Amino acid sequence: MFFSIFSAGISVVAEERAELAFEETSRFGAAKAVQASVATLEHVYAIDSRSIAKYDRRTRELLGESTGAAIHLNSGFIWRGKILCAHSNYPSLPEQSQVMALDPNTMKLSPWKDFGDYGGSLTWIVRRGNRWLCNFAKYGEVNSDTFLVEFDNGFNEIQRWNYPSEVISNLGKYSLSGGVWYRGQLLVTGHDEQETYVLEIPKDGILLKYVTTVGIPFTGQGFAVDKRRHGLVGISRAERQIIFIQEIK
């Protein structure tokens, strides 16, 4: 199956990048494929709100499930041998956000970074160069207040940005559930739609730059870069499936 860009008429730079497209390579059923998925070279993980399941990447055999309390896990990111998961107390207020770390050997889930009430619900965390990018989501009538923060390695805030209307207008009452830093651009997903929004971080200003929209088979939610196949891994929440896609060069 082939998924490609379906918006046009932007800038010359954006048109040069308009070749970005993905094709599905495989998928399999995973009961916990509710919030996100993430993969290492040998394993793949399905994430639901409260726990994480580990599978053998080749055989698809279920190898274990996480232990440790969680309320609302939202995405996964591989970092120094651990899986960092965005976590919040959504839908409770005031929002409380943490990063939880999963040890893939013991499958123990434990707190790693506590943001407290940072003004939104943490939905994903990734790296951009030597910095962290964290998305804090707002929902309902104020979902346009969703914001992206760049932190240094000590989690001191460097700068923050808001999202353009081209993205927010597609979210309904929900917010941005997933995001990755991919080939020098930010790819983000909403809650339901089979598309990812391609953004650039501006040199100046507080508004992220919309580039285009790319069709993907993931039904929104959290996703991750798949370094083994130079693509992405995400989920179909409705079908409880993990889906692998590969960039078409």
What's the angle, vertex CA 246, arms to CA 13 and CA 248, rounded to 5? Answer: 50
3-state secondary structure of 172: coil
> In whole angstroms, what is the distance from residue 188 CA to residue 180 CA?
7
Q: Quick check: 133 and 122 in contact, CB under 8 A?
A: no
Residue 217, token pair as written in the block: 């088979």
Question: 166 by DSSP, 3-state: which?
Answer: helix
Q: Give the chain's domain count.
A: 1
Query: What is the biggest distance separating any 2 CA atoms in the chain, rounded to whole angstroms?
Result: 50
Q: What is the pLDDT along the chain (249 residues), one digit of tens a residue?
A: 555 544 434 333 434 545 789 999 999 999 999 999 999 999 999 999 999 999 999 999 999 999 999 999 999 999 999 999 999 999 999 999 999 999 999 999 999 999 999 999 999 999 999 999 999 999 999 999 999 999 999 999 999 999 999 999 999 999 999 999 999 999 999 998 999 999 999 999 999 999 999 999 999 899 999 988 889 999 999 999 999 999 998
- CATH number where 150 lies: 2.40.128.630
Residue 197, judged by CB atoms within 10 A of its CB (0-12, 13-18, 19+), counts as buried
Domain that holds residue 122: 2-247
